[in-house]
Amino acid sequence: MIDILVTVCVVISLIFSILGVIGLFRFPDFYTRIHAAGMVGSLGFLFMGAAVLIYAGGLLLSGDEAWLNYGAHVVLALMVVVITGTTATHAIARSAYRSGNMPIAKIDALNADEIKMKHREERK
């Protein structure tokens, strides 16, 4: 049971990390690459931590008390990386926007809506 849970968590983590790095290459824009990088930082990392925690919990249940200390350290590392990773991504995005890094596709929402409304009125 624990083996299956650990394997599933590791495979999900690997899938999210590989997809995030592929997206870091394939996306055309900085602001879309942030989306791919956030996948590695959130789900790829958290599922790996969950796999390590489940495996350490299995060893703890089998009678070794030293793995409780280990699990506490893993939880602390997860909290630190979740807090600092999101803040660092936000800081990079803010500095890129302030330094004039514009998105590649600028869509004026109001203009798009006006065109839609015009088509809708022509159909009537």
Partner 1 sequence: MDQEDHRMNDIFMIAAIIFVLLIFACGIRIWRGPTNADRMLALEVVNILVVTIMITLSLWFEQPVFIDVAIVYALLSFVGTLYVAKLIMGNLQ
Determine contact, residues 40/17, Cβ cutoff 8 Å: yes
| The binder of partner 1 chosen from 95, 112, 113, 116 (CB under 8 A) | 95
What is the C-alpha separation between 84 and 86, in angstroms, rounded?
6
What is the C-alpha separation between 105 and 8, in angstroms, rounded?
38
State yes or no: residue 16 binds partner 1 (CB under 8 A). no
For partner 1, which stretch binds (CB under 8 A), given 88-96, 105-113, 114-122? 88-96
Considering beta carbons, is residue 4 or 107 the nearer one to partner 1? 4
| The binder of partner 1 chosen from 5, 43, 60, 81 (CB under 8 A) | 81
Long-range contacts of 16-20, Cβ-Cβ distance < 8 Å, separation of 24 or more: 16/40, 16/43, 16/44, 16/47, 17/44, 20/44
What is the C-alpha separation between 24 and 12, in angstroms, rounded?
18
| The binder of partner 1 chosen from 91, 112, 113, 116 (CB under 8 A) | 91
Binding site for partner 1 (CB under 8 A): 3, 6-7, 10, 13-14, 17-18, 20-21, 24-25, 30, 33-34, 37, 40-41, 44-45, 48-49, 51-52, 55-56, 69-70, 73-74, 76-77, 80-81, 84-85, 87-89, 91-96, 98-99, 101
